[in-house]
Amino acid sequence: MTDGKLKIKTDNLNLFYSDIQALKNVTVDIREREVTALIGPSGCGKSTFIKTLNRMNDLVSSVRITGDVYLDDLNIYREYDIVDLRKRVGMVFQKPNPFPMSIYDNVAYGPRIHGVKSKSQLNEIVEESLKSAALWDEVKDRLKQNALGLSGGQQQRLCIARVLAVEPEVVLMDEPTSALDPISTLKIEDLIDELKEKYTIVIVTHNMQQAGRISDRTAFFLHGEVVEFDFTENIFSKPSDKRTEDYITGRFG
């Protein structure tokens, strides 16, 4: 695989919760239209790291961050308005979290906030986003029904459609299939494979088989540090660090 254009770069990123250091000198290059997987044992900093990429950690009062995060060569802490940043860098969480409103209104929510008022335009965005999330055929006849009536897997795809509706460039996914059954998980994995044609995707996963199946590159986190970051096939077939090999072969974690 050739190296694509650099989309996100972190440079000596450190994050502290009060006195506890959760990230230590994390330097990672995330390339455009690739899937980058973050693996490692629980509590190693994966979710903390992914949340720095759209400043979700800003919501935690005890957090202090040093180092830099760049999106398209601009520093996200100094050169981006946070609303614009979160439009460009969307987030899908571990547990599906649809709003308690209709399927249609869930998807139209973001575009409305960003000023889209035309009904025909909203209709088009809702249809396109649901199609992109491989959900349209299942819900097109019940768009006015409450989204909470959908199955778990459908709810997660609806949350992906909701992110896509504001036309992001990057989609962050924090263990998006951990609460889902195997069939729903497979649908989301197939979807991720399609979405990388248009989007840069960063996914936290506990499932190493999943990382192996869907990602182009993998970063292995341990105790808040990136031990190794390489093409996924290298990480899984010939890791350069003994700790990576021990984790992948199940010796710990």
- Whether the pLDDT of residue 1 is over 70: the answer is no
Residue ranges in the chain assigned as alpha helix (H): 46-52, 82-88, 103-113, 119-132, 136-139, 152-164, 182-195, 208-214, 232-237, 242-248
Please indicate, yes or no, whether the overall pTM of this predicted structure exceeds 0.85: yes
**Per-residue pLDDT reduced to its tens digit, 83-123:** 999 999 999 999 999 999 999 999 999 999 999 999 999 99
Average pLDDT over residues 199-211: 95
Query: Strand, helix or coil at 177?
Result: coil
Statement: residue 2 has pLDDT above 80: no
Q: What percent of the chain lies above the pLDDT cut of 70?
A: 99
Take residue 194 and report the two structure tokens written for it. Answer: 């399609």
pLDDT of the residue at 200: 98
3-state secondary structure of 60: coil
Above pLDDT 90, what percent of the chain? Answer: 94
How long, in residues, is the chain?
253
pLDDT at 136 over 80: yes
DSSP lists the bridge partners of residue 231 as: 217
Average pLDDT over residues 35-60: 94
Cβ 205 vs Cβ 217: under 8 Å: no
Q: How many CB atoms lie within 10 A of CB 129?
A: 25
What pLDDT does 251 receive? 81
Mean of the pLDDT values across residues 201-229?
Answer: 96
Which pLDDT score is estimated for 250?
Answer: 87
To the nearest whole number, what is the mean pLDDT of the chain?
95
pLDDT at 72 exceeding the cut of 80: yes
pLDDT digits (tens, 9 = 90+) for 141-188: 999 999 999 999 999 999 999 999 999 999 999 999 998 999 999 999
> What was the pLDDT predicted at 29?
97
CA-wise closest residue to 104 among 86, 122, 82: 122
pLDDT (mean) for 60-80 = 95
Region 8-24: what's the mean pLDDT? Answer: 97
